[in-house]
Chain A
Amino acid sequence: MAQTQTVTDTGIAELILLWREELASGMESIVGLEMATPCTAAVASTFADPADTATHHVGSGLELAPIDTVAGDTTNTAGDTILFDHVFTATATKNLAGIHVCNNDDDVTFIECCFNAVLAMENTDTCTIDGQSTIDQA
């Protein structure tokens, strides 16, 4: 199973709302996905309906939380990239199949990622997320 990640349709729609200065919010939160087998990220996934049968973790250190660091960066043209870093620390034995990167209102998923394999986290294990997203002129 490949690690898959994608910007979702709802994430793009939220970006367009921001461009239009309509009611919308930026990248702010992150939450772990719970599933026993690897999931596959899909553009159609939403905050309420993650990939496959995955669900949001609701505790154990993998629940919805503010992203540790969000910053701008450059890949091809100045300021075309956003970087985000976060560390989950498990407080119990849990499966982490992937993540959702969400908006400030916690109702839109910008990015969905499903890992190579389900990460079997035990108490005090950490999972460091190092991500980026680029809006490219290609």
Chain B
Amino acid sequence: MANEAVISKGRQGTISALGADLRKADGQLIVRSVPILAPDPPKCIKFKCLLKFVKDVWFCALLSKYHHERAEFAQHGNKDKDIKEKYRSGNPSPKNIKQAIIAIIELKIYKLRR
């Protein structure tokens, strides 16, 4: 696969994952689109299970926001500019809610500084 973020379960029993690299003719990476892990449904109705599901959904939403914004940033107006490689490749990808929030804030600051 093109990226570490990888697998999304479309439904039980079938899994599809896909990476897409947009490059210039000379091979230089413009942006990479990466799969987002879809949260598994809760496995029980205990508070602990429901809380985990809520956290997973929240993380998925933040991760989606980050990858969408950095993919937009890497393309529009910055295609030919020198920007941080992580905004083109999506690596490293945030691994938890805290990292995702920090990544989104960092990206916003980075955009404002440019």
Contact = CB atoms under 8 A, between A and B. Distances in A.
B11 A5 contact: no
Interface stretch (A16-24, A47-55, A63-71, A130-138): A130-138
Given A2-B63, A3-B36, A135 B24 contact: no
B60 interface: yes
What DSSP secondary structure best describes chain B's contact surface?
A: mixed
B16 A128 contact: no
Interface in B53-105: 60, 63-64, 67-68, 71-72, 75-76, 79, 90
B23 interface: yes
Interface in A109-138: 111, 113, 115-117, 119-121, 124-138
Contacts of B34: 3, 116
Contacts of A136: 13-15
A138 B40 CA distance: 12
A125 B64 contact: no
A5 B18 contact: yes
Contacts of B31: 117, 119
A2 B36 contact: yes
A132 B68 contact: no
A133 to B, nearest CB: 4
A129 B18 contact: yes
A111 B21 contact: no
Interface of B: 1-2, 8, 10-25, 30-31, 33-36, 38, 60, 63-64, 67-68, 71-72, 75-76, 79, 90
Interface residues of A, number: 36
22 contacts: A1-B64, A2-B38, A3-B33, A5-B35, A6-B8, A7-B11, A99-B18, A99-B20, A116-B90, A117-B72, A119-B33, A119-B75, A125-B25, A126-B24, A127-B23, A128-B21, A129-B19, A130-B1, A131-B16, A131-B17, A134-B15, A138-B12
B33 A2 contact: no
Interface of A: 1-7, 12, 38, 43, 75, 96, 99, 111, 113, 115-117, 119-121, 124-138
